[in-house]
Amino acid sequence: MKKLQELYRRLEARGLSSEQRQVIEWELHLAKQVGDPERKHNASPPPRSRSLYRYNDPELLQQGLPSPITAMVAYQTLDRLLERDLQREKDGFPRKIRVGKLVKPGRDGDDKVVVIPTTVEEKLFHDQIRDESEGEGEGEGEEPGEGGTGEGEEGEVIGEQPVHEEQGGGSGAGQGQGGSHELESTVYDLGRILTEQFALPNLKDKGKKRSLTRYVYDLTDKNRGFGQILDKKATLKRVLQTNIGLQRLHDLTQIDTDKLIVSPRDRVYRILSKEKDYESQAVVFFVRDYSGSMGGKPTELVVNQHVLIYAWLTYQYQKQVTTRFILHDTEAKEVDNFQAYYAMQVAGGTQVSSAYRLVNQIVAEEELARDSNIYVFHGTDGDDWDTYGEEALPELEKMLVYASRVGITIAENGFAGSSRSEVERYLSKSGLLEDKKELLRMDVMSKESTEARIIEGIKHLIS
């Protein structure tokens, strides 16, 4: 907290517009409410108990229960469903099947995607009154409460539940229930679906193929005398050469193959041999702003988009993708896996430059630029305490030297009103979007964006 205020004072000294001050003060206010941002980052959303209508006979009477994931859809079915979805679009109705919310990365970096097509049945239902500014602490005492029985005076605390540090990723379906029933697939398949069904563009060959110190073994070399597979055509040529050399063939129009002499050295085989691998490789940095203002929708949009991008790149690079996850508020840090990347809660202030600096540092230290194509995807709500990008832009320029693509997603939090956010403003001003069009892309989404919009955004970011 002190650090934040110090930073604020420093910025203040440099001069701030009133609008800017307002944004910073708001985030500071949020930060004050939740206390230590570090602690808040690690919190999970409140637990829910099950509703009245979730109790049912088969379960209670020990009769077993069908899996909550009723749709164990085989792949061809999924394809069929997606075809239907595509048809919907042609018929002028919005798509209904969602695939983007289904990602459930493995705990140990062993990423897996649970592909369960999901949908919602839209009806007119009563909603609870939601706090519009969801980032603003927790609506304590305002939720309608639940039933309970037993001892305890009014006001007495009857139980506690630890707020988990990490919690299952993937909103919506696939929230960990019924593990054994899940149909698991790789991110690769989701990427395939995205590429095919949503017509995401194919990756352009950047001609950046580099050799790796890896070999594959293949039956490509030829060897005379011995080997694994007889190359008949080559052998026959050899035999003819030998026989012509021995002057055993006089009339080339009429060859009597029975009379040919076959030397052991004439036999040509294909033989297993070491090959250098020339495949390209990619390192993808996912950078997410987890400052206080990102609460609710912006975070959801950013994370969903990143999941899809990740799946798509995995497909395009034939799984040769390494991912790095970076979160930032006023400071940036790297986390190990998608799980953590997803689950961290928002809090604190915003300094975009911190994240860019960390990415540059990692790339430099590990010499990633030499061997890999580097992609950086950054999701933010566009607020930045560094109003004019004085620190962020130089870092960004540094990044653009080595990166194959930097994609910046701005999911507006709707707080700053209609005006454009800082990040958007200083990026456009810098002219980088025009000068380095091939390397830098920006996508601005409103808070209410749908999944279709997210996919549109990806097309823009990666095309």
Single out the segment in contact with another protein by CB under 8 A; choices: 79-87, 202-210, 416-424, 452-460.
Answer: 79-87
Which lies closer to another protein via its Cβ, residue 94 or residue 176?
94
Q: Answer whether 386's CB lies under 8 Å from 353's CB.
A: yes
- Give the C-alpha separation, 383 to 373, whole Å: 29
Positions 149 through 208 that interact with another protein (CB under 8 A): 149-163, 172-173
Positions 38 through 77 that interact with another protein (CB under 8 A): 39, 42-43, 45-58, 60-67, 69-73, 77
Structure tokens at 145: 């409460």
Under the criterion CB under 8 A, does residue 137 sit at the interface with another protein? yes
Under the criterion CB under 8 A, does residue 13 sit at the interface with another protein? no
Cβ 29 to another protein, closest distance in Å?
A: 7
Which lies closer to another protein via its Cβ, residue 110 or residue 121?
121
Which lies closer to another protein via its Cβ, residue 125 or residue 217?
125
- Give the C-alpha separation, 398 to 376, whole Å: 12
Positions 20 through 39 that interact with another protein (CB under 8 A): 29, 32-35, 39
Single out the segment in contact with another protein by CB under 8 A; choices: 121-129, 247-255, 364-372, 373-381.
Answer: 121-129
Which lies closer to another protein via its Cβ, residue 141 or residue 264?
141
Structure tokens at 377: 């995807």
Under the criterion CB under 8 A, does residue 211 sit at the interface with another protein? no
Binding mask 356-395 for another protein (x = CB under 8 A): ----------------------------------------
Which lies closer to another protein via its Cβ, residue 11 or residue 347?
347
Cβ 95 to another protein, closest distance in Å?
A: 11
Single out the segment in contact with another protein by CB under 8 A; choices: 84-92, 201-209, 373-381, 421-429.
Answer: 84-92
Structure tokens at 46: 């409140």
Sign for the CA dihedral angle at 289, 368, 444, 458 comes to negative
Structure tokens at 113: 């995607």
Which lies closer to another protein via its Cβ, residue 257 or residue 418?
418
Could you tell me the CA-to-CA distances from 19 to 16, 174, 259, 303, 384 in Å, in that order?
A: 8, 41, 96, 28, 12
Under the criterion CB under 8 A, does residue 417 sit at the interface with another protein? no
Which lies closer to another protein via its Cβ, residue 53 or residue 226?
53
Single out the segment in contact with another protein by CB under 8 A; choices: 125-133, 213-221, 380-388, 432-440.
Answer: 125-133
Which lies closer to another protein via its Cβ, residue 73 or residue 236?
73
Total binding residues for another protein by CB under 8 A? 91
Q: Is 432 helix (H, G, I), strand (E, B) or coil?
A: helix
Structure tokens at 456: 């549109």
Structure tokens at 225: 């005398």
Q: Is 389 helix (H, G, I), strand (E, B) or coil?
A: coil
- Amino acid code (one letter) for 154: E
- Give the C-alpha separation, 203 to 318, whole Å: 12
Smallest Cα–Cα separation from 203: which of 314, 308, 82? Answer: 314
Reported as type and span, the H/E element at residue 458 is: helix 451-462
Interface with another protein (CB under 8 A), residue from 5, 22, 118, 235: 118
Structure tokens at 348: 């604190």
Q: Is 19 helix (H, G, I), strand (E, B) or coil?
A: helix
Smallest Cα–Cα separation from 174: which of 125, 75, 106? Answer: 106
- Amino acid code (one letter) for 303: V
Under the criterion CB under 8 A, does residue 116 sit at the interface with another protein? yes
Smallest Cα–Cα separation from 316: which of 174, 116, 121, 458? Answer: 458
Single out the segment in contact with another protein by CB under 8 A; choices: 137-145, 200-208, 333-341, 452-460.
Answer: 137-145
Structure tokens at 114: 């649970």
Which lies closer to another protein via its Cβ, residue 110 or residue 122?
122
